[in-house]
Amino acid sequence: MNKFITYFFLSVIYKEVLLSEPLFNGKDLSGWTMDVPALDKKPSLTKPFIVRNGMLVSLGKPAGHLLTDNEYSNYRLEVEYRFAAKPGNCGVLVHASKLRNLYKMYPKSIEVQMNHQHAGDFWCIVEDIKVPDMEKRRGPRKNWGITEGKARRIVNLTDDSERPVGEWNAMSIECMENEVKVWVNGDLVNHGFDCTAKSGKLSIQAEGSEVEFRKFELKKLKKY
Q: Model-level pTM?
A: 0.92
Distance CA 129, CA 194 (A): 6
Dump pLDDT digits (tens) for 88-105: 999 999 999 999 999 999
Which range of residues forms the domain containing residue 82?
3-222
Dump pLDDT digits (tens) for 23-82: 999 999 999 999 999 999 999 999 999 999 999 999 999 999 999 999 999 999 999 999
State the Cα torsion 50-52-54-59 to the nearest 10°: -50
- Kindly state the DSSP code that residue 204 receives in the 8-state scheme: E
Classify strands 153-154 and 122-125 as parallel, antiparallel or unpaired: antiparallel
Residues in the chain: 224
Say how many domains are in the chain. Answer: 1
Dump pLDDT digits (tens) for 147-169: 999 999 999 999 889 999 999 99
CA 21 → CA 6, 78, 100, 126, distances in Å? 23, 10, 27, 28
DSSP symbols for 126-190 = BS--B-SSHHHHH--GGGB-SSTTSB-EE--S-S--PPPTTS-EEEEEEEETTEEEEEETTEEEE
Widest Cα–Cα separation across the chain: 51
pLDDT bin (cut points 50, 70, 90) of residue 14 is very low
- Mean pLDDT estimate for the chain: 93
Residue 2 has pLDDT above 80, yes or no: no
Residue 4 has pLDDT above 60, yes or no: no
Residue 188, domain CATH: 2.60.120.560
Residue 7 has pLDDT above 90, yes or no: no
Distance CA 14, CA 11 (A): 5
